[in-house]
Structures are given as structure tokens and as C-alpha cells.
């Protein structure tokens, strides 16, 4: 059974979902009047929002959550690489493609990023264009910039 719970945060409303005590989704919700009938706050969801709040206020730089993102083998390989991008740093799509062993896969990396079901914890916001351009983010470019600025602010603390 999938459980979901919605939270208001300093970067907007987040939906956190878990199944079998593993986080399967953290996403941004643009509507404030969501009323999920199946909304249920579980211990692992509470742990996830606690860690998310710590991250947003600069006291957490790494997450310690059981994750189970749903995706293809390729997507999961990309998401694993994304988790290795250090806090406060950015990589290009090309760098991620090279890290998975396929330097020609930049566009496919972009699509895997777009389909990342666990925002922030799997830090697709840390992937930028080759020349430093802010391209593509499911939560919106403004939010991507906000997250990168947040990490830049707390990176050296």
C-alpha cells in the first residue's frame, strides 16, 4: 500500500510517498488545496520530512533514507550517479553520462533526470547544462536556482 502526505515548506508544498517503508516519491505540488483521501503520515514519511527540513535550513547535507524509486535500469543507474554529486556542486549532463559509462547519453540522462521521482534527495537539481546554463527541472528553473543557491549558502558552513 502506498502512503502519501503533503507538507508546506519554505520552497513550496512537497508530497512524500512511501511503500513498504521505503520512500518512492518526493515531488513538488503546485496546488494548495490537495486533499488525498489516502493521506497518511507514517514513521518513514515523518523521518523524510524531518531530514528535508534540516536540508532546507542548512543543517543536513546528506540524506539517510531508504529509497525505492520506480524506473528503468538506465534511469536507476543515472539516479545512483546523481546521489554521488557532492552537496554544493554541480555536474553537467555530459559528466553524468560519462559517469555511467556512456558519454553519448547526455540526452537520455536529461530524460532520466526529468523522470526522477524523488526530488532533492536524488539531487537532479545539481545537473546543469555543459556551459553552466540552468536547463530543465521538474520543479521549475526558479526552484532549481533556489536549491542551488541554498546549497551554495550553506556549503562551507
CA angle 15, 17, 20 (to 5 degrees): 170
Which of these, 77, 63, 73, 57, lies nearest to 119 by C-alpha position?
A: 63
Distance between CA 16 and CA 14 in Å, rounded?
6
Query: Angle at which helices 73-83 and 106-114 pack, to 10 degrees?
Result: 90
Has 12 been annotated as catalytic? no
For cell 540526452, the residue is: 107
- Residue pair 82/127 in contact (Cβ under 8 Å)? The answer is yes
Pairing of strands 2-9, 12-19: antiparallel
**Per the residue annotation, which of 120, 124, 128, 147 is the catalytic one?**
124
Q: Hey, which residues are catalytic here? A: 124
Amino acid at each position: 500500500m502506498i502512503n502519501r502526505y503533503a507538507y508546506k515548506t519554505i520552497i513550496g508544498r512537497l508530497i512524500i510517498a512511501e511503500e513498504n517503508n521505503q520512500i518512492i516519491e518526493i515531488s513538488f505540488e503546485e496546488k494548495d488545496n490537495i486533499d488525498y483521501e489516502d493521506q497518511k503520515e507514517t514513521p518513514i514519511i515523518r523521518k523524510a520530512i524531518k531530514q528535508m527540513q534540516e536540508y532546507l535550513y542548512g543543517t543536513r547535507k546528506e540524506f539517510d533514507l531508504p529509497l525505492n524509486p520506480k524506473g528503468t535500469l538506465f534511469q536507476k543507474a543515472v539516479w545512483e550517479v546523481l546521489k554521488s554529486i557532492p552537496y554544493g556542486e554541480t555536474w553537467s549532463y555530459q559528466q553524468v553520462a560519462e559517469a555511467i559509462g556512456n558519454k553519448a547519453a547526455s540526452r537520455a540522462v536529461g530524460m532520466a533526470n526529468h523522470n526522477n521521482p524523488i526530488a532533492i534527495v536524488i539531487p537532479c537539481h545539481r545537473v546543469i547544462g555543459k556551459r553552466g546554463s540552468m536547463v530543465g527541472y521538474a520543479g521549475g528553473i526558479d526552484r532549481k536556482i533556489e536549491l542551488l543557491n541554498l546549497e551554495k549558502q550553506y556549503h562551507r558552513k
